[in-house]
Every structure is written in structure tokens, then in C-alpha cells.
Structure 1
Amino acid sequence: MNDLKLSPCLLRKPRTLWRRLLLLGVLAALLSGGLAWSQRETLGLAARGYVFGYPLVLADLTRHDFVSDIAPANRLVHMPAFPDADYRVFVRPNVDTLYTQAWLDLDAGPWVFEVPASQRYLLMQFLDAWSNVFASLGSRTLGSQGGSFLLVGPHWDGQVPAGLTLLRSPTRLAWLLGRIQTNGKADYPTVHAIQAGVRLRSLQDWQQGSASPALPFAMPQSSRPAPLYQMRGLSAQDFFARLATLLQDNPAAPADSAAVAELRQLGVRAGAAPQWNWLQRQTVRLGIWLAGREMQRALQDTQGLVNGWREPPLHIGDYGTDYGLRAVVAMAGFGANLAADAIYPNANLDGQGQPLQGGRRYRLHFAAGELPPARAFWSVTAYDGDGYLIANPQGRYALGDRDPLRYNADGSLDLWLQREAPAAEQQGNWLPIPPSGPFSLTGRIYLPERRLLDGQWHMPAIERL
């Protein structure tokens, strides 16, 4: 069955995805005898529909948990401190920046969003309900000047007041995910002062000079599983019914017309839950299973890796019709930003192509002059098999150029990846990993230099000791 393994480049092409999933489905049907040949088209439609709709449904689950447990819609929330290993709001949180978030219902707007002038690296990105970045405000686009913006939904038709720049979301729901460079815990007060200058309020409040204070982030006390786990638990009927509801106010882009037509063939229409007979339900269920299986395989596929690292394509965050990439990114790191703002290479294999495993010892060696080419700063973070921070007594989840790292005499740098503490002289360069099970690394390179964007620089291989 190795010839059926789906590479990331194949997953990014819906038609190729369909052919792979169809072949897998036919083989499954022949083996089980439980699927009529007449349902082969439904199988492909279900698989492709799941990939297409995955980020929209995940966005809604994430939004629902946020507004239920953290803050109401249209209110800013500032994270006052770094997340720890208990943080489950979304996968692969970083410990380089303090977050600012808000889930927006733009039908209740318009809203005025203000970014303060700052010499710090900051990024205030707005994602639509499909996880595409429709606005990127910060160091790259605004420099150190800041700005004031009128944030509206797709159907708003009005006059933009003087002093405001229009930002239009293509969907009713939108997500603000902001990051401000934070140089360790001692730097919190400086960052809090910058956060205080980030404001979100209704147009009416802005015109009247009324404030809408941001809320401090607090870990939710709900026992509800994280959105990623909720996605895994949705039945086929629930997934597509939720997708149909969301399509009413968060329409697909005009370029998605073919994918929307396929959803209609499957019986999924905006505002209308699908009605399937027993055989169709089983077929759709199998299609979702096959699609999820292939998405997981794509995350593990070694084709296209460089030194064991998977480098995100430059159109990440602006996917167009690259539905496979969009779905896999949502699964692995929901809320990805544009590559021009930051690049996040990921590795779950060592330099020999073997999976990274907790309990072993590894080294990440940067040759002299080959440190990550960042115009702002860089880091390396360790995550468990599900993409969450790894609990450790030191509370150390990442290392980077703002840490007091010890460089070798020739200017090179070694980072030590292991569970137990290394020798005393290496402990400043030690990144703890789990005692067992898979783990992964994510590099973060903020405001990457052109040589990284042009493919002239790559992360070095991880060496097993």
C-alpha cells in the first residue's frame, strides 16, 4: 500500500486527493464487502468535502469555546503571561510573544481597531472563517507607526470616517490573532504597556470617545476537550450539518465554486443539513475517515523534507484553492500567518529520517554564520505528539537568540534536546523533551530575510546522540 501514500504536494491538489481517496475507498469496499460500487462517487465527494470544510468547522469550534470560556465576541483579550503545558486553546502556541485575541462577529459592527506605534516586533493578523489571512498589521506593513482601521463585514456599505483605513473581512466571523515580541518574563511590563495601546471598540464608541477595555486572559476551567479533539469526535452527519450552517454567513470564495458544487452533489447546502439514507451515511463516514487518514499521513510524509524539516510553502495563510494545505495547516497549527511575517519550519524526524522520540538525546547544531536569518528574532520550540507544550520542571519550552545561549569558540551553536539535564556547561542550551512518545520541533523566524524566502537557507538536521 506504500504507493497509495499521499504526499503533501498531492494533498494540495483536490483532484489528485480525490483519485487517491477513491482508490483507497474501493480497496476498502472490496475488502469489507460493505460498500456498494454505486456509492464510489459519494465516497470521493465526502472525502473532498471534509478537506474543503475542515478549517471552517474547526474555526467555529475554536470560536465557540473562546466565547463560552474566555471572553464574549468582539472583546479584546490580552495574554499577560506565556502559556504553559496546560494551554489547550489552540495547537503549537508560542512562547516568544504575548498574544492578543478576539473572535469577531462582524454583523454586529463596524469596529474600530487601533495599533499603537512601537519599535517592537508586533503582528496583528486577521483571519477569515476559512483561516485565510485578510489583513496583516504590524512591523512589516506599518513599520513603527501604528494605525487606526475600520473593520467591517462582507456586506457593510457605509462611509469610512476620516482617520480610519478600511479593512473588510470576506466572512461574518473573523479571528484577530496578535503577537507582540516578549523577551522573557522580566519583559512583561513593557509588553503590557504596548498591549494597552491595542484597542477594539465599536464605531459608535470610537466616535463618542468611549473605551471598551480589554480583558486579561485566564485559562478556561471547562472540562470540554480542545477543539482539535472535538473535531475528531464529530460524526459525519454533525460535521456536514455544522458546515451547512456556517456556509450561510461565511460563504466560500468565488474561486471555490467547483468545491461548493461538489458539496451540493453530496447534499450539503448553505442552511440545509444533509439528508442521507443508511448506505449514504456509511459511505460519507468512510470518506471522512479516509480523508482524515490521508491528512495525518501528509503530516508524516517525508517527501520534500530538507534536513528532516518541513518548510511551509510561501502561500501559507493565503491558500487560494489549495484546500489540502489549508486543512493540514489547520490540523497542525491553526492560525498560521503569512510567510513574509514569520516562517515556521517543523520537524518530527531526525537527520537519519527516524521519528523524534522522547527519552532519547539529540543535538541541533548551527554552523558559524548559519544561524536562522531573521530580521527580528528566532526561536526553537518543542511540542508533544499533539502539538502542545511539553511539561517539565524547568518550565522551559523554547530556546532562541534572546536567551543567554553559550556559543562555541568558532561561533557555532549547539542546542541539546533531551529529557534529563545535560552537563552543567550545556544546561543553558538545553531544551527538555518528553520521557517517551513522539515529539516535534518548530522553528520560528520572525521577519525572515530574503535568502530564507528564496530557499537559500535551511534548518540543519537534528542529530541523534
Structure 2
Amino acid sequence: MSNLNRAGLRAMATAALGLCLGMAHAHAQTSAATEDQALDSLIREAMLYAYPYQEFMKMRHEALEVKDSPTATTLNHFRHSRHLATPKDRWANGPIRDTFYSTSWLDLEKSPLVLSLPETHGRYYVIAMIGADLNTFSYVGRRIGGTKSRKVALVGPRWSGKIPQVDQIVRAPTRDVYLNLRVLVTGEDDLKAAHAVQDGFRIAPVLPTTEDGPRLKPRAQDWGRFVDVANEALVRNPPPGTEQKLLERFARVGICGAACSWDKLPEPVQQRWLALAPEIEKNELKNRLNADRKTADPRRRNGWTPYRLPDGFGSNYAMRAQSAAMSGGILGLEAAEATYFAASVDGNNQALGKGQAYRLHLPQGRLPADAFWSISLYEFVTGGQYMVDNPINRYSIGDRTKGMKFNADGSLDIWLQPTDPGPEKRANWLPTPKENLFYLMARAYQPWPEVLDPSWILEPVQPIKPE
């Protein structure tokens, strides 16, 4: 073989080898990219799953361990709110003026608790019983059980001892439980009577107990602590067996209970957590209600987004996490108890506010509900969404608003603007901020069947010229 042929063969071999190496390198890069995507996806999935557990523990810590917290209380006792919400109340987004809240944090590990419910003489109330996964597992109240006095025993998942004679037994799926009580208040002249009803709700352990609380303190924006707090919550409150395979998958990214911790994670996995978690929380959880967001929610019609919450989240862990992030500590009720509608845009998909005047027309003169209804207004400010300071101290309109003027056909027009619309419309005026954007929240408690139908929606908020 000539030297020329040998040189040609060597060149061809070198080229082939280079091609093979290049293909191998490209394949390795593709495989690495695929692996990175899989890791990111798993972190996102695990974070959404664990988020409610961590939020539950954060709220519990603030209530039981932070003495100057606005929600401060003691274990197994009710803490009662005593005044109607005003623009100064910023302990939760979108506070409600229709009811007084009472809250209680329970530990059912060492003893059942007996919940004494007073006779409320028809006054609306509801207690939502919420587990450590932020699923509401039971209700008691006017809709379920009526308003006569009775006793309910709350029993932990591992309790096997005696249970006292009571009217109802509720077995909780987790040892740590949050009770959220709402009691209807009709106005400033009803405060004393509403307080007396609140005081009638009592909690008592069956056996003497000592507190055995979580060891870790939640810390905002500390994602290593997020992982560890979530794992401690999973140890205290083991998920159902149907979720065990999920935890086996999540173990790779540090979420599985006792066997997992932040310190055990490889440094590259920690770095991906630190990069991804803030963006997931911001974009997928906390910005679900955004004043500047014009892109319509798929559910939005007439500018209104309905919130018909299910009686449980099931395996929809993303929805459960979103609910936890948006709640600010006050969780929504299932649709049969209360249905909500939020509007941050008008009928033309333009953000509400900036001094614009509007009209909201209610053809039936009300929201169809058996218990009560209201439409509240909240402005977007730094740090949250709160009531608007105004000269007539009106922050919502509803079935208990005195002196409303109805149209000849029984319909109702609500006037939304920053300035007084004049004596003919003042009774139906809901003041808006002069400059900030705002949103409306319509609430129907014990809604009629038509409101539960997905086709039902309010009429759009229509811009008008102020008078």
C-alpha cells in the first residue's frame, strides 16, 4: 500500500473517530440535560407536595410560640377575634367583615378532645377542621348539624383508648389539627351578642396532657429549613399509605419524613432547590391573584374567577399548595358551605382601579345564598390586599347593609368609585381607592344550587363616568 493510501486511511479513521467522539459528547450532553430536567421536575413536584405541611407548621409556630403574633394563643384553646375588620387589619389578605374568626391549634396524640358547641338560636356558624396537610377533613355548623347545643369528640389517628359519650365522633387523619370557627356578625350593634356566642365554644381534653410540639422553627426563604420542617411535619403526621410511593420518589430530593434532611442532600441537589424554590413560590403559588395580570384564568368569565373549592384536594397537590400560599392563614371552605368569586378586571379585561368609576349590577338584588352574602373590596398595596380607608367606613355591601336602594324590578346596582356618587346612589356606594388597583371578592354562604353550577357567574363590572 502506498504512503498516500496509508495517509488517506489514517485521515478517514481520524475523522470517523472524531465523529464518534462528537456524537458521544452530544449524547452525553443530551443525557445530562434530560437528567437535569428530571431533577428540576422532581424538586417542583416534591415542593408542591410538601408546601402545605410547611405552611401549617409555620402558622402553628406563629400562633403558639410567637407571643406578640396577632394570632397568638395556647394549645387546645380558642383564640377569638373581637372586632370587625378595618383597613388597619393586615394580619391576613382579604379579611372578611361578615364573621368573627376563632381559631384553635390542637394536638390529638395523647388524648381525644371534646368540643362543646353552644345553642346559637339560628345564628350562622361553621367550624372547619383542618389537618396538617391543609385538607379540611370535617365540618360542624349550621349547615351540617344545625344550631342546637351538642358535643363532638375529636380523636387522633393513632388513638385506641376510650372515647367519652358525645353526640358525634370525628377521627382526624393527623395528630396536629387546626380549627377555624366563623360566627356571623350583623354589624356594630351585634358585637356583644356575637361575642357571647363565641364564648360558648369550648375545648377540653379527655385526659391530662403535656405539650410535645415540633422541634424546628420555620424560617421564611430558608429552603433548607423548609425541607427539614416539612420532614418533621411528615413524621408527626404520617401521610396516608396511598402516598408512600410518592415519598419514596421524593426521597431523592430530600422529602420523605424521618430518613430525609437537607444536610443529607448532595450539594448539586441543594443548589437546584435554592435556584428553583423561590421562583416556584413566586410564580406558581403567590402570584395567582395579580393586579396586573391580564391573561385570563381559564375559569374567568365576565371578569370574575369562581372559587368553588372541592371537599378535599385528593391528589391535586398543586391546587392544595396554591390554596395554602394564598390563604394567609385563613383557608377557604368547600363550595357547598361557601362559594367565592374574585374580580380584578372589568368586563373589558382592564384592571380595576386608578380612580375609574364602575357599576356592578345584581339582577336578583342579591347573591343567591341561604345564610348570607357580601361583596368586599380590597386594594393592592405593598405586602398584600387590604380594605380601603374611606369617609363612610364601608368596606363591603351585602344582605346586612342597611338602607340599600333597589331598582323597580328588584335588581340592585352597586356603585364603585373613589368619590361620593351623590345622595341618590350613596346608599349603594362601595368606595374604591383613589389611585391603587383593587379587586372584588363576592361571597355566598350556603349558596343556592344554581350558584354551585359551573355555568353561574356574576355580571361584569362595567366602567362608567363618575357623577
TM-score when normalising by structure 1: 0.81
Q: How far apart, in 1, do the equivalents of 2:108 and 2:237 lie?
A: 11
SS in 2 for 1:109: coil
Instruction: Say whether the 8 Å CA contact 1:138–1:146 is kept in structure 2.
Output: no
1:395 to 393, 398, 401: 393
Q: How far apart, in 2, do the equivalents of 1:431 and 1:415 lie?
A: 7
Is 1:345 paired with 2:332?
A: no
SS in 2 for 1:415: strand
Change (3 A) 1:59 1:387: farther
Q: Given residue 387 of structure 1, which amino acid in structure 2 is its aligned partner? A: Q
Q: How far apart, in 2, do the equivalents of 1:260 and 1:391 lie?
A: 47
Q: How far apart, in 2, do the equivalents of 1:167 and 1:281 lie?
A: 40
Change (3 A) 1:104 1:372: same
Q: How far apart, in 2, do the equivalents of 1:446 and 1:113 lie?
A: 23
Change (3 A) 1:239 1:273: same
Q: How far apart, in 2, do the equivalents of 1:204 and 1:296 lie?
A: 41
Bigger mean CA offset, 59-68 vs 388-397 = 388-397
Instruction: Say whether the 8 Å CA contact 1:39–1:283 is kept in structure 2.
Output: no
Instruction: Say whether the 8 Å CA contact 1:44–1:287 is kept in structure 2.
Output: no
Q: How far apart, in 2, do the equivalents of 1:437 and 1:108 lie?
A: 50
Q: Given residue 125 of structure 2, which amino acid in structure 1 is its aligned partner? A: L
Instruction: Say whether the 8 Å CA contact 2:227–2:254 is kept in structure 1.
Output: no
Q: Which of 1 and 2 has greater Rg?
A: 2
Q: Given residue 279 of structure 1, which amino acid in structure 2 is its aligned partner? A: P
* Matches for 1:59-458 after TM superposition, within 5 Å: 59-67=56-64, 68=66, 69=69, 70-118=72-120, 119-204=122-207, 233-271=220-258, 272-274=260-262, 275-292=264-281, 293-296=283-286, 298-299=288-289, 301-315=296-310, 317-333=311-327, 334-367=330-363, 369=364, 371-385=366-380, 386-404=384-402, 405-458=404-457
SS in 1 for 2:48: helix
Structure 2: which 5+ residue stretches go unaligned?
A: 1-28, 209-216
Q: How far apart, in 2, do the equivalents of 1:56 and 1:419 lie?
A: 41
SS in 1 for 2:177: strand
Using the TM superposition, give the Cα deviation of residue 154 of structure 1 relative to its aligned residue in structure 2, in angstroms.
1.5
Using the TM superposition, give the Cα deviation of residue 379 of structure 1 relative to its aligned residue in structure 2, in angstroms.
0.1
Instruction: Say whether the 8 Å CA contact 1:106–1:172 is kept in structure 2.
Output: yes
Q: How far apart, in 1, do the equivalents of 2:166 and 2:59 lie?
A: 33
Instruction: Say whether the 8 Å CA contact 2:414–2:430 is kept in structure 1.
Output: yes
The share of aligned pairs that are identical, in percent, is: 29
SS in 1 for 2:47: helix
CA RMSD in angstroms comes to 2.4
Deviations 1:90-110 (A, max 9, x none): 332211011121111222532
Change (3 A) 1:447 1:257: same
Q: How far apart, in 2, do the equivalents of 1:310 and 1:340 lie?
A: 17
Aligned length: 406
Using the TM superposition, give the Cα deviation of residue 179 of structure 1 relative to its aligned residue in structure 2, in angstroms.
0.7
Using the TM superposition, give the Cα deviation of residue 458 of structure 1 relative to its aligned residue in structure 2, in angstroms.
1.7
Using the TM superposition, give the Cα deviation of residue 87 of structure 1 relative to its aligned residue in structure 2, in angstroms.
2.6
Structure 1: which 5+ residue stretches go unaligned?
A: 1-29, 206-226
SS in 2 for 1:457: coil
Instruction: Say whether the 8 Å CA contact 2:127–2:180 is kept in structure 1.
Output: yes
SS in 1 for 2:414: strand
Deviations 1:153-191 (A, max 9, x none): 221112222234211221121111111111001011221
Deviations 1:231-250 (A, max 9, x none): 8x413222212211211112
SS in 1 for 2:43: helix
Q: How far apart, in 1, do the equivalents of 2:149 and 2:457 lie?
A: 32
Instruction: Say whether the 8 Å CA contact 2:125–2:142 is kept in structure 1.
Output: yes
Change (3 A) 1:438 1:259: farther
Using the TM superposition, give the Cα deviation of residue 350 of structure 1 relative to its aligned residue in structure 2, in angstroms.
1.2
| Residue of structure 2 in register with 1:212 after alignment | none
Change (3 A) 1:91 1:55: farther
